[in-house]
Amino acid sequence: MGRATVRAALQTFLTGTPGITTLYKDAPWEMTGDNWQTNSLPGTPGFLHLDHSSESRIALGGEHGGLKQIDYTASLVLLYQYVIPSTVASKDVWVDGLDSLLDAVVTRIRSNRAANTDGTIVFEAGNQDQGIQISQDLPHWDHGGGKVRNWVRVEFKVTEIVPA
């Protein structure tokens, strides 16, 4: 197992979350416009980034037995974009889609603590103390392009248990 296996499991688990149009396994070197909009609806590409990992021994019976617990800090970086329609009733309607997206992501992470694995790849995800945290930048308006953009980071803890 290891980083690549954990990342692949998380990507598979989070793919198909409502509102995410494309999910990359880490930051792509290029993204084109088709990653965002579908029929002028808000769309969001995202990527996974494993920010940090640490290892601890779980030993019963001394130094020659036991398991290793590997804790990762995973970030799902969401690149939210809303195309401003020509007529709108409210100038802050763009945030409705973002709130729905974030609720869908958190609901997905909560839906299965082992990220739809049998527990041998991901022991638990987002289930630890302060297991899910959201950091959101201030919105950016592209007045010339008629868009509102907001980058968001959903950080969640992931634990893998491996033989020592």
Res. 39 pLDDT band, cuts 50 70 90: low
Q: For residue 61, what are its two tokens?
A: 């019976």
> What average pLDDT does the structure give for the chain?
88
Mean pLDDT of 138-161: 90
Q: For residue 86, what are its two tokens?
A: 């020509």
> What stretches of the chain show up as alpha helix (H) in DSSP?
3-14, 94-111
Inform me whether the pLDDT recorded for 32 exceeds 80. Answer: no
Which stretch of DSSP H or E encloses residue 104? helix 94-111
Domain ranges (residues) in the chain: 3-163
The CATH topology of domain 3-163 is Alpha-Beta Plaits (3.30.70)
pLDDT tens digits along 74-118:
999 999 988 888 887 888 888 998 999 999 999 999 999 999 999
User: What single string gives the DSSP state of each residue in 105-117?
Assistant: HHHHHHH-TTTTS
